[in-house]
Amino acid sequence: DRIDPELITLIAEHAAAGTPCAVATVVRCEPPTSAHPGDTAVITADGRMRGWVGGSCSESTVQREALHALQDGAPRLVRIQPGSPPPEPRAGGTVTLQTTCPSGGALEIFVQPHLPRPLLAVVGASPVAAALVRLGAIAGFRTCAAHPGARAEDFPGAGLVLSSLDLAPAAPGRDSWVVVATLGHYDEEALEAALVHPDADVALVASARRAAAVLEGLRRRGADEATLARVRAPAGGRRAGAQAQIAVLVLAEVIALREDRRRTAPDRPPEPAAGAAAEHGCPCH
């Protein structure tokens, strides 16, 4: 059977919104089970499941593994089967769990995380801003350009063009990078709009002297020190070179920071106790 069109739409909606989800598909079963090969479910970051991969016991296992997949970004094959658990339940991308279901059925479910691309939102109409949008798209970012009165043709190749400073349509969240490249035009207003989003990294393209003046302006406008500390400036570390070269430095810094954060990300949550895993591994309904 084909995947439910509603699930396809749901996956597309999450991709467009920049929110993660995982797709779980039954690839093999040994009866008696209530699931069949091809049965599919979509699991969101809050643990909600849409679709079908078996009864309540297998669902809880799939939900747990889907959340792990969303955290570490790795797909996995989940085997829920009778018999003694293997010495290494996690090996080679496969998770093997023992079922206590009296029926003795077995399931294999492939869990694939769908993680959004990182967001690069650039505020301003400067040559640096335009170059950043182009380079960000090449580097694999979802790109958003924001400038009062902006039109799509002003930023060729941008994934989203906003004609105001309100970045909400881009849904900045985790792994979102906002670069203010206004270069002296409405700098404070642009930073205020960016800092509304607490999970976004915010950077200002400016000289050290100009950056200090802008931050002082924000301080006079009521910004507290914790908020001001979120602003990285000067973005890219230096201002020497042509506008396009500044854009390269700014993007290189973003990429380096992303890699540093990936390396220092906390480990996955601890696994449930063996007994609990076996209980939740039951594929019955």
What confidence score (pLDDT) does residue 257 get? Answer: 96
Region 108-129: mean pLDDT is 95
Same domain, 151 and 88: no
Number of domains present in the structure of the chain: 2
284 in a domain, yes or no?
A: no
Q: How confident is the model at residue 60 (pLDDT cuts 50, 70, 90)?
A: confident
From 115, 138, 157, give the residue that closes a domain: 115
What confidence score (pLDDT) does residue 109 get? Answer: 96
Same domain, 29 and 147: no
Same domain, 111 and 245: no
What confidence score (pLDDT) does residue 165 get? Answer: 98
From 87, 115, 143, give the residue that closes a domain: 115
Residue 106 near residue 99 (C-beta atoms within 8 A): yes
Which residues constitute the domain of residue 71? 5-115
Residue 137 near residue 143 (C-beta atoms within 8 A): yes
Q: What's the gap between Cα 269 and its chain centre?
A: 18
What confidence score (pLDDT) does residue 285 get? Answer: 42
CATH code, 181: 3.40.50.720
247 in a domain, yes or no?
A: yes
The string of pLDDT tens digits covering residues 64-77 is 999 999 998 899 99
Is the pTM higher than 0.75?
no
281 in a domain, yes or no?
A: no
213 in a domain, yes or no?
A: yes
